Amino acid sequence: MTQDPLEIYRRLLLIRECEAQLNDAFAKNRFPGYLHSYLGQEACAVGVCDGLTDSDVIVSNHRGRGHYLAKGMAVKPMMAEMFGKASGVCGGRGGEMHAADPSIGVLGGNGIVGGGLPIAAGAALSAQMDGRGAVAVAFFGEGASNNGSFGETMNVAAAWKLPLFLVCENNLYAEMTPFDQTVAQPDIALRAAGYGMPGEVVDGNDVFAVREAAARAIARARSGEGPTLLELKTYRWGGHFEGDPRKYRTREEEDEWKARCPVARVRKILIDERGIEAAQLTALETQVASEIAEAIVFAIDSPLPEPETALSKVYAA
């Protein structure tokens, strides 16, 4: 785990800048497809991934960039993948919802809500058989918790004591439907008990709280005690996708949550409690912003894959 809070801040910033600048590119019509922003949820990915090594694997969802960056994916090829460019981590054919890098344990995103959960269980089964203490992490939203794949995954992971860490980022809206319209019980973490595993609700906007809870879940998985469900209460600043007019919620609610910004919160702690100079943070912010800006330029300037490549790799050799 990172001991340096400045490094935690840098990782939060990296995701924040990535999302903010991508939103900007989308608004200027420079982004080629749907964009599912992770803005506002940065503390979840950073807090969880801080306890992982390259031997641990994650599966992601529609809103994957935070997870990829927090797990250590190289910024430029990840960004190029988002733009569907040949220089992307997957040659551009995965695009915005699908990036992977097995060398750092990223097993991909997913275009199907709940689709990654069973895959994470399978990766956890491999890790259990390998016996080297590796962990599989499934990131999913609260929407996926109403999918059958969630219950099936929870059940088998608990029954087999798989080294699986289930991370539910509850951002209150399943696509465009408020979560409280589709469930009677607001705490998904309570469902863990029914499957025979620990479940915990944590403030998903507090990176240090996420990190501590994640460390417990990861330690449990590593030591063979089985899966844990962590529910991170957070908020998706944008719509389900960029351009979503968000008629299903109020601007007041959005402002309330923005006031609980997970990035600004760490900045304040660094200044107030750690005595770090604001100027030092501003320099870091500028540096991270340029890194992302350069990656976006790299992505935009990169060539598209040739259309005939669509016919390749249907089957593996």
Partner 1 sequence: MANKTFCWAIIDAMREEMERDDSVILIGEDVAAAGGSFGATRGLFDKFGPARVRDTPISEEIIVGLGVGAAMTGRRPIVEIMFIDFLGLCLDQIANQAAKTHYIYDGLFKMPLVIRTSTAVEMGIGPHHSQSWEAIVSHIPGLKVVMPSTPRDAKGLLKAAIRDNNPVVFIEHIALHRVKEEIEDDEFLIPLGKADVKREGRDVTVVATGLMVARALAAAEVLSKEGVEIEVIDPRTISPLDIDTIVESVRKTNRALVVTSSLKQFGLGSEVSAEITERAFFDLDQPVKRLSPPFTPVPFGRQFDEYLNPNADSIVSAVRELMA
Residues 54-73 that bind partner 1 (CB under 8 A): 57, 59
Closest by CA position to 46, among listed 65, 20, 26: 65
For 314, the token pair is: 């249907």
Among 1, 7, 27, 126, binds partner 1 (CB under 8 A): 126
Residue type at 269? I
Q: Under the criterion CB under 8 A, does residue 314 sit at the interface with partner 1?
A: yes
Among 6, 20, 74, 125, binds partner 1 (CB under 8 A): 125
Beta strands in the chain (DSSP E): 57-59, 136-141, 164-170, 173-174, 177-178, 199-203, 228-233
Q: Under the criterion CB under 8 A, does residue 39 sit at the interface with partner 1?
A: no
CB of 226 to partner 1, least distance (A): 15
Classify residue 34 by its DSSP letter.
Answer: -
Contact stretch for partner 1 (CB under 8 A) within 66-74, 168-176, 237-245, 309-317: 309-317
Q: Under the criterion CB under 8 A, does residue 148 sit at the interface with partner 1?
A: yes
Report how far residue 93's alpha carbon sits from residue 301's, in angstroms, rounded to the nearest whole number. 17
Site string for partner 1, 81-110 (x = CB under 8 A): ---------xx-xx---x-xxx----xx-x
In three-state secondary structure terms, 106 is strand
On whether the CB atoms of residues 102 and 73 are closer than 8 A, the answer is no
Contact stretch for partner 1 (CB under 8 A) within 118-126, 175-183, 263-271, 273-281: 118-126
Among 14, 18, 123, 295, binds partner 1 (CB under 8 A): 123
For partner 1, which is the closer residue by CB, 34 or 160? 160
Residue type at 158? A
Report how far residue 65's alpha carbon sits from residue 63's, in angstroms, rounded to the nearest whole number. 6
Beta strands in 214-277 (DSSP E): 228-233
Q: Under the criterion CB under 8 A, does residue 184 sit at the interface with partner 1?
A: no
Q: Under the criterion CB under 8 A, does residue 112 sit at the interface with partner 1?
A: yes
Longest dimension (CA), the chain: 57
Site residues (CB under 8 A) for partner 1? 57, 59, 90-91, 93-94, 98, 100-102, 107-108, 110-112, 115, 117-127, 129-130, 136, 148-149, 152-153, 155-156, 159-160, 313-317
